[in-house]
Amino acid sequence: MAKGIKEVDIFRDTHVRYLGYANEVGEAFRSIVGKNLVRLSYAVAIGYVLADSSHKAAVVYQQDASSNRIKQVALSASDTLIWQGFASVIIPGLTINRLCYAVQLAQKKLNNKKFKSPWVSVAVGLASIPFIIRPIDLLVEDGMNHTYRQWVGYSPNKVPD
């Protein structure tokens, strides 16, 4: 890569990133669609996580010619798998699920029939997705930096020796 030009990570710097949030869309629609569609949304998100993990491992494998190549590949793949698992699937899915559930509980207490439509929780869930992405990414990054990455001595931005 030429000096001063930042390489674009297709899985984190492009709209492909939103495939990791397919399960949030599924969670938002949970109250009005079948369980199989929600499961399918998780399959898409998990497929995204696995694709990113494989891609990161392949890049390290191609770039690292050191005697630690296999270790670096394993660290890269595991770091990406954990990061994406939490940042793209677990935390956002739980967040949208609980948010929609809270809306549904509030709807049960309302007397206004307009607000009792199942589409209200869907709309709230979908509308919240853009607002939760960045804070969750930062939370997971910070959490990884203070736990897993310290324990294994790995930095995903470090160029292999």
Predicted local confidence at residue 12, as pLDDT: 79
Task: Kindly state whether residue 1 falls inside one of the protein's structural domains.
Answer: no
CB 59 within 8 A of CB 83: no
**pTM of the predicted protein model:** 0.86
Q: Where are the alpha helices (DSSP H) in 5-111?
A: 22-29, 35-63, 69-84, 91-109
For every one of its 161 residues, what pLDDT tens digit does the chain have, with 9 covering 90 and above? 455 566 788 887 888 888 989 999 999 999 999 999 999 999 999 999 999 999 999 999 998 888 889 999 999 999 999 999 999 999 999 999 999 999 999 998 887 777 888 899 999 999 999 999 999 999 999 999 999 999 999 988 654 44
Task: Kindly state whether residue 129 falls inside one of the protein's structural domains.
Answer: yes
- Residues 6 or more apart whose CB falls under 8 angstroms from that of 14 comprise 8
> Which residue range(s) make up the domain with 51?
15-152
- CA 134 and chain centroid, separation: 10
Give the count of domains, the chain: 1
Task: Kindly state whether residue 140 falls inside one of the protein's structural domains.
Answer: yes
Predicted local confidence at residue 14, as pLDDT: 86
